[in-house]
Structure 1
Amino acid sequence: MDEFASETKVEWREWGPDAFDAAAETGRPVLLALTVPWSAECREMDRRTFGEPRIAANINDGFVPVRVDADRNPRVRERYTMGGFPSTVFLTPDGEVITGATFLGPDGFRGILDSVRESWDAQGAAAGSVPRQLQDEAPPAGDLRPRIEEHMVEQLLGAFDDEFGGWGSDVKFPLPRTVEFALVRARDQATRTLEAIRTHLLDTYDGGFFRYATERNWGNPRREKLLDENAALVRAFAHGYRYTGTEAYRDAAQRTVDYLTTTQWTGEAFAASQAGDDEYYRLEAADREDRTPPHVDETVFADRNGLAVDALLWVTAYTDDERARQYAQRARDAVCDTLVDGGEVAHYDGPASDTGLLLDQARLLQGLTTSWQVLGEPGPARAVADWTIEHRQQDSGAFRDGPDSGAGLCGRSLHPLDATVELADALVDLAALTGEERYHRTALDAVESFAGAAERMGVEVAGYAAVAARLQHPQRLTVGTEAGTDLHRAALRMADHETTVVPDPDGDGTARLLDGDAVVAEGATPAELEGALTGAE
């Protein structure tokens, strides 16, 4: 149970089969409360709604109340969220959805309680339904074609906001993977978006990036700071610096590294999130000194730390930032020591933690392949990849998000696109680093399992088009030295960020850019390599 449950008057149960058995035995619906520790709305609903004695009594008497920390339980989150937090979802004893909503004040909550009771009394279990994304066994498959990348470039052009930067005409999300895709295909869009993010979402005093802006002009930001979102932006700004040399991008990345290694550092790895507090963040810098900063959730999640390791090591690669390197290594080692068992990754260190979730496997693998490229230290990369392929890939080539068992609808198949993209991206790197074609083939099968839907994809999943392009035209820059030499460091800074850099301590001292199996550029010194790569472009 999360630490805020005691602030309410509801007699919460833990998620699991016991709660659904109790619902079946008593003939009552399940009331599922999905909360996160970083949401001010969750705390407000705890106080105003779940803390109201009469509402709590109605819940306790007429429902089986279950409370879930959505960050700690991704499978429950992905199957039941109503699009934001808090999410209140009413379920049948079989886990099917009757109805749900996000934030509800006391009056709105009383209304939905009455509505659910009426539906339940009239229809019983027939009032529930299975969400659409859980009804199909596999995503729409197809073949990879150049058209996938072309379509995404068209989407960028159509959705870009020429006045304010970013994509879309309403709420503005930073979309770091979309920025990375645009850096090599629509650079003006990428740099204008990086400028908007840096100007409006970067906390210039405490550090770190806010989540998103609620207005088209990037105004009125949501103030939460999540590790995964900050790590992804550190990487995007680092890549932006690599392409443009803009010092402001380097500064934004390094200032965020400072935030992650102080405020969000637990002593061993990176903390999950820092809560949003609009009143606190509107204060002038001097006034913040006398206030308690917003709550930090110190849970160490494998997926978010994998992203942080990846991001900090790209900062290291482009800037020689020693602090970023040291903290990336420490976090990588802590996660691998405590959360990895024979290639199976635990979501966090706790008895209730899920293990083998696709997003944990994928993001940690990405951190490990980047560690291999930048430091020459692979860690358990092969073991993590092999376990994931053996236990999560289905006959169709698609990957499940977790095991095929669990309470409610957790046993139903869910094939997450974002996690598949991140896994495939890491597998492309692993294929180049190991020389094992099977990893490339697995990545290809996974990406093709969604190719039938490629023409319907928008800019928010530009990462899919990026990995599709990498699979069709794999490039690797082999460096015939150990990691850390002048030639290797130069290769990291000169390579396109979609090219895998492969240090080879047994090599002949020459760096070679390969497009497939064809050598298109080579050099034995940084200057020779720069000249060769410039001529190859």
Structure 2
Amino acid sequence: MDNSSGVTHVEWREWGQEAFEEASEAGKPVLLALMTEWSEESHKMEAATYAEPRIAANINDGFIPVRVDADRRPAIRERYNMGGFPSTVFCTPEGQILTGATTLGIDGFREILDRVRRTWDSNGEEAGSLPRSLREEPPGGEVTARVEEHMVEQLLATHDDEFGGWGTDVKFPLPRTIEFALVRARDQATRALDAVQTHLLDTYDGGFYRFSRNRNWRAARCEKLADENAAVVRALAHGYRYTGEESYRESAERGVEFLTTTLWTDEGSQDGGAFAASQGGDEEYFRLEPTERENTDAPAVDETIFAGHNGLVIDALLRYYAYTDDEMARQYARQARETILNTLVDESGRVTRFHDGQTAGPSGLLVDQARLLRALTTSWSVLGEPGPAVAVADWTLDTLQTADGSFQDSPDDGTALLADPQYPLDTAVELADSLLDLWGLTGEKRYREAANDAIGTFAGAAERMGVEVAHYATVAARLDGLEVLTVGTEAESELHRAALRLADHEAVVVPEPASTITTRERPEAAACLLTDGERQGEARTPAELEALLTA
């Protein structure tokens, strides 16, 4: 993290085995500071608490301080996050957690430093513990129709009838939950979309704020992250597809404008540019009137190009293009895709998280493999351009899938808790969703089997899941009856374009010239609807296709 905004006397180390070995040799605990560029609290703590000379001297004397950009190192973030950023975590030299907190002022920091020192002096390594995610194995089980039924029940039970959205406290946009509801509880989905575009859309600079602190969607947190904006744009595009509501298209367009202007960057790229990571959430700036903003510097943009973030943006822009014919969205998606493929993907299909021109990030992380695969399957479906989708999927299956079918979040790094595998639900679901698309696109059953394994890993906990993980139920439902619409024409033909607009958003549209068809029997230049491989009917014109899909 850039420290140009403040002066610190803390002698920060880089994350790595060397820092933990130093702690072991010195008999000191580790102070791990997890920061993000978009978090105003991270910058304030950097400029105030860590810049206080006596605090810095205490840290340098009694601890081995390590600072990590949580966006650049998600595997560390998932193991050590204390619930927000900054996260201040105290660890043993073996990497186990002593205690932690989020934002701390000078007085609070002094207190926790003293408390940790006493605990360490009294109990040493025995005071450390593993986070829950590393203590428990994923609760496997059989994937049944009950998963989808339970999630619908959760939608009904937790919907906020007064203000829209789900829950009675902090309101997140929950775009994947909206997508699940669009085909199962559409009124709830549209109420949520209405709230998001009314309260989280920055009507002047474009883009969407992260969440609202209150049940009524007021008091927004103003950070704008590329991956979260992409997810909202995609949900709005799907909302427009189902309802024809122009405000959803217009709000999605404002999100696209933000992504392709404020977050478009060629920093660290030699291939024409891609999407930057985030824009900071300076609330004083975002509370200004438009005329006042014109004369004020906007919050800084983190120009790091993350493979996974770009994967979600590419997917969202192409979904938006499929429904609107917005050529600009298509062009930016293709350019970003080529930049990521040329700079962050090797021939085997392994994805590197980022490269900023000086430092290469970790490679082979499940989140980046899954999200880039999502971009490639969408590119295949919408543009007929698969890229290395199969290679990315196969590398992921060969390297990150375990013998029982679950997926670990990263290759073993060997440092502290990164030596212990973690099996994240959200990321496994993202991967499974993309693998199902790949099954539809290729007809290769191994991708469906891998998706089923990924979902089955958590099926034993399905009855305890809330609406925040409705994406899990979406993928479970797709496993039970995936619709594939094969189109015997080149991509972007009239019939193919109609298929993209008319098919359910959970279906897979497969453009393929008749000359390439070997396993799917149908007349040339016809669209064929299949459910789990079983033929349901065919159509030769957009009108026939609409009749087939609405029968």
Q: Whole-Å Cα distance in 1 between the matches of residues 155 and 138 of structure 2?
A: 24
What residue is the counterpart of 2:324 in the other structure? 319
In 2, Cα distance between equivalents of 1:148 and 1:474? 16
Given that residues 2 and 68 in structure 1 are in contact (C-alpha distance below 8 angstroms), is that contact kept between their aligned partners in structure 2? no
User: What does residue 131 of structure 1 align with?
Assistant: 131
**Aligned pairs (5 A) from 1:219-298:** 219-267=218-266, 268-298=273-303
Give, in whole Å, the separation in 1 of the partners of 2:297 and 2:211: 23
In structure 2, C-alpha distance between the alignment counterparts of 1:254 and 1:383, rounded to whole Å: 32
Which structure 2 residues correspond to residues 91-130 of structure 1 after superposition, within 5 A? 91-130=91-130
Q: Alpha-carbon deviation of 1:349?
A: 1.0
* Displacement after TM superposition at 1:149 (Å): 0.2
Please give the alpha-carbon distance, in whole angstroms, between the structure 1 residues aligned to 2:93 and 2:2: 23
Q: Please tell me the residue identity of whatever aligns with 1:275.
A: G
Q: Which amino acid aligns with 1:155?
A: Q
The alpha-carbon deviation at position 292 of structure 1 amounts to 0.4
1:525 aligned onto 2:541:
yes
Q: How far 1:512 moved relative to its partner?
A: 1.3
- Whether contact under 8 Å (2:59, 2:65) holds in the other structure is yes
The one-letter code matched in structure 2 to 1:287 is: E
Question: Residue 315 of structure 2 aligns to a residue in which SS?
Answer: helix
Give the drift of 1:515: 1.2
Residue 534 of structure 1 and its aligned partner are, at CA, apart by 1.6
After TM superposition, give the deviation of residue 352 of structure 1 in Å. 4.5
Contact 2:23 2:29 in 1 (8 A): yes
Q: Distance in 2 between matches of 1:57 and 1:505?
A: 68
Q: Partner of 2:310 in structure 1?
A: 305
The alpha carbon displacement at 1:154 in A equals: 0.3
Counterpart of 1:347 (choices 349, 353, 357) is 353
Q: State whether residues 3 and 46 of structure 2, in contact with CA within 8 Å, keep that contact through their aligned partners in structure 1.
A: no
Partner in structure 1 of residue 270 of structure 2: none
- 2:269 aligned partner: none
How far is 1:435 from its partner? 1.1
Q: Does 1:461 align with 2:460?
A: no
Cα deviation for residue 2 of structure 1 reads 3.9
Distance 1:73 1:2 in 2: 15
- Partner SS state of residue 201, structure 2: coil
Q: Name the amino acid aligned to 1:489.
A: R
How big is the shift at 1:368? 0.2
1:290-335 deviation line (CA, Å, top 9, x unaligned) = 0000010000001100000000000110000000000000001100
Counterpart position of 1:54: 54
1:20 matched residue in structure 2: 20
Q: Which residue of 1 aligns with 2:520?
A: none
Taking the aligned partners of 1:5 and 1:151, their CA distance within structure 2 comes to 48
> Does residue 1:400 correspond to 2:416, yes or no?
no
Partner Cα separation in structure 2 for residue 352 and residue 512 of structure 1: 45
| 2:538 counterpart letter in structure 1 | E
TM-score (norm 1): 0.98
Query: What runs of 5+ residues in structure 2 fail to find an aligned partner?
Result: 267-272, 518-523
User: Quick one: structure 1 residues 85 and 329, their matched pair in 2 at CA, closer, same or farther if it must change by over 3 Å?
Assistant: same
Contact 2:484 2:508 (C-alpha < 8 Å) held by counterparts: yes
Please report how far the alpha carbon of residue 39 of structure 1 lies from its aligned counterpart in structure 2 after TM superposition. 0.6
Q: CA deviation at 1:467?
A: 0.2
Q: Distance in 2 between matches of 1:4 and 1:97?
A: 30
Question: Which of 449, 453, 457 is the matching residue for 2:457?
Answer: 449
Distance 2:531 2:391 in 1: 27
Give yes or no for contact 2:6–2:47 (8 Å, CA) kept in 1: no
Correspondence for 2:531:
515
Q: CA deviation at 1:179?
A: 0.3
Partner of 1:139: helix, strand, or coil? coil
Tell me the alpha carbon deviations over residues 95-143 of structure 1, each in whole angstroms, 9 at most, x when there is no partner. 000000000000000000010011011111111111111123x311100
Measured after TM superposition, the shift of residue 396 of structure 1 is 1.2
Q: Deviations over 1:189-243 (max 9, x none)?
A: 0000000000000000000000000000000000000000000001000000000
Q: Which residue does 2:64 correspond to in 1?
A: 64
Q: Establish whether residue 375 from structure 1 lines up as the match of residue 376 from structure 2.
A: no
Deviations 1:124-169 (A, max 9, x none): 1111111111123x31110011100000000000111000000110
Alpha-carbon offset, residue 4 of structure 1: 5.0
Q: Partner letter of residue 199 of structure 1?
A: T
1:322-337 aligned at under 5 Å gives the runs 322-337=327-342
Match of 1:360 among 368, 372, 378: 368
- Measured in 2, the distance between the counterparts of 1:8 and 1:315 equals 45
Q: 1:485 pairs with 480, 493, 497, which one?
A: 493
Q: Which SS does the other structure have where 1:208 is aligned?
A: coil
2:445 to 437, 447, 452: 437
**For residues 289 and 132 of structure 2, what CA distance do their matches in structure 1 show?**
47
**How far apart are the structure 2 equivalents of 1:515 and 1:430?**
15
For residues 178 and 327 of structure 1, the distance between their equivalents in structure 2, rounded to whole angstroms, comes to 27
Deviations 1:444-465 (A, max 9, x none): 1111111111111100000000
Amino acid at match of 2:254: R
1:57-101 Cα shifts (integer Å, max 9, x gaps): 100111101000000011110000101000000000000000000
- Contact kept in structure 2, 1:512 and 1:521, CA below 8 Å: yes
TM-score (norm 2): 0.96
Q: Which amino acid aligns with 2:510?
A: V
Deviation at 1:7, TM superposition (A): 3.0
* Structure 1, unaligned runs of 5 or more: none
List per-residue Cα deviations over 1:230-274 (Å, max 9, x = no partner).
000010000000000000000111111111000000030000000
Contact 1:208-1:255 within 8 A present in 2 as well: yes
- Equivalent residues of 1:521, 1:533 under 8 A apart: no
Structure 2: how far apart are the matches of 1:4 and 1:71? 19
Corresponding residue for residue 205 of structure 1: 204
Higher mean alpha-carbon deviation, 160-169 vs 526-535, is at 526-535
- Opposite residue 338 of structure 1, the aligned amino acid is T
Moved over 6 A (4+): none
Distance 2:319 2:471 in 1: 18
Higher mean alpha-carbon deviation, 405-414 vs 369-378, is at: 405-414
What is the count of residue pairs matched by the alignment?
534
Whether the 8 Å contact between 1:2 and 1:69 is mirrored in structure 2 is: no
CA distance in 1 between partners of 2:201 and 2:368 (Å): 27
Cα distance, 1:55 vs structure 2: 0.5
Q: Is the 8 A contact 1:299 1:348 kept in 2?
A: yes
Task: Give the distance between the partners of 1:27 and 1:429, measured in 2 at CA.
Answer: 51
Does the 8 Å CA contact 2:79/2:417 hold for their aligned counterparts? Answer: yes
User: Do 1:309 and 1:329's aligned partners in 2 also have CA atoms closer than 8 Å?
Assistant: yes
* 1:413 maps to 2:418: no
